[in-house]
Structure 1
Amino acid sequence: MGIKERKTKHKEDLRKRILEAAKKLFVTAGYEATSIRKIAQEIEFSPTTIYLYYKDKSDIIYALHQEGFLMLRQDFQPLMQVDSPFERLKAIGKCYIRFALTQPDFYEVMFMMKGPMEYLKVHCVDGEWAEGERVFDFLLQTVRDCQEVGYFQQLDVVQVAVQAWSSVHGLCSLFVSGHLKSMMEVVLDEDNQERMIEQAFRVFVHYLEATK
């Protein structure tokens, strides 16, 4: 590996360390309580070093937001090969739930924190949300495909997509925030929580099937 390649790798490794440290602090301490100085302390570098990569912490949280949506899109990508639209819709829901369960910190940054949305309001024209829109467009197209084979007749495509998304998001956010466990009379371990989420999703799927 040449000098140029080593420098590039060093920069990329440091960028990843900054993002990992920031994600940890955003989730454990909260976005408002996290500063560039605290992120720098976490990775044992000076704040000046972080400013070489990111303008401020809103820039950092949006970078995490982008990375998380890229991961989710990559998880969705194989589902394009599922021919049956309704089976694809079910697979999207399961994939989304699995992402929340296996990547709870990313999920919280992407779907439960206001920081990335505030960044969009300030820096993006008309609140453009390219990363989220690409993921949502996949869901929208799947709902349209479902309509072509007889599902959701006379229903608005966007409303069906939002209802499907909000249903699985509600389950996932209860899990990620810890409310699902704390609200149960009998303490559930993580496996039982996961099974509860999957069972609730199956109930929702049966409801969708009834709309055909």
Structure 2
Amino acid sequence: MDSKHSHRSEETKKAILTTAGKLFANKGYDAVSMREIAKQAKCSHTTIYLYFKSKESLLHQLSMPSLTQLKLKMQEIVQSNTLPPEKKLKEMSNQFIHFCLNNKNLHTIFINAKSTRVDEQKPELEINQIRLEIFSIMKNTLGECLSLPNDDQLLAYSRIFFYNLYGILSTYSYQHEPTEVLLERLIPTFGLSVEILILGFKANLKLVEGEG
């Protein structure tokens, strides 16, 4: 009996998560209520709270596995002793591309829902902590490329770098081509964009130094 009950509970939990993911992807995180998720998952409004205490809890369960995997892969790149900083940044960009395309319908939720500023020191939500850790890894690597300390100028460049990365991906993420086909087309574009951005940042640094 306990085994059957446990199985049913696990199935209910999976149904709630799957339904929440679909609704978040189709309508946006803020537009979806716990009551709507429960209705679509065919469970009662009170039952859903036995598994997830809030919509933030659902967001956490959906997002953290993929975000954690992305962070670990970026950390592996950072720890490589054979790659120069610019190559590391390209590899990180490639991992971010894989992350977004492998989570086509939900990557905007994983990145943006309940997000905070990238210079927030102590975010309350664990999901925002890991988002900022991922951003920090990219920022520090960009700092190595430009020989910049961790200051406001590096933060500004890092924001520009991320906006470029995320912006290009947003134009492709809803296309219906297979992921591998998209990757084959996009990775060279991102590699070139990294090179151009770094050249632009270096030129801007020289301009700022000249004015100083």
Residue 96 of structure 1, CA deviation: 0.4
Structure 1: runs of 5 or more not aligned:
182-187
Distance 1:204 1:162 in 2: 15
Structure 2: runs of 5 or more not aligned:
204-212
Q: 1:17 to 1:94 in 2, by over 3 A?
A: same
Residue 70 of structure 1, CA deviation: 1.8
Q: 1:85–1:142: 8 Å Cα contact kept in structure 2?
A: yes
Identity of aligned residues (%): 23
More helix by share: 1
Residue 90 of structure 1, CA deviation: 0.7
Q: 1:68–1:106: 8 Å Cα contact kept in structure 2?
A: no
Aligned position for 1:159: 156
- The letter for the 2-side match of 1:78 is E
Question: Is 2:198 the partner of 1:200?
Answer: no
Aligned position for 2:208: none
- The letter for the 2-side match of 1:40 is A
Residue 61 of structure 1, CA deviation: 2.6
- The letter for the 1-side match of 2:155 is V
Q: 1:110–1:116: 8 Å Cα contact kept in structure 2?
A: no
Q: What is the CA deviation profile of residues 182-211 of structure 1, one whole-angstrom value per residue up to 9, with x for unaligned ones?
A: xxxxxx845665444323312212314533
TM-score by length of 1: 0.70
Question: Is 2:85 the partner of 1:88?
Answer: no
Distance 2:143 2:25 in 1: 36
Matches for 1:48-197 after TM superposition, within 5 Å = 48-83=46-81, 84-112=84-112, 115-117=113-115, 127-128=123-124, 129-148=128-147, 156-176=153-173, 178=174, 189-190=177-178, 193-197=182-186
**Structure 1 residue aligned with 2:33, among 24, 32, 35?**
35
TM-score by length of 2: 0.70
Residue 63 of structure 1, CA deviation: 4.0
Distance 1:132 1:205 in 2: 21
> Secondary structure of 1:116's partner?
coil
- The letter for the 2-side match of 1:169 is Y
Aligned position for 1:184: none
Distance 1:31 1:208 in 2: 32
Q: 1:72–1:99: 8 Å Cα contact kept in structure 2?
A: yes
Q: 1:18–1:39: 8 Å Cα contact kept in structure 2?
A: yes
- The letter for the 2-side match of 1:90 is K
- The letter for the 1-side match of 2:133 is R
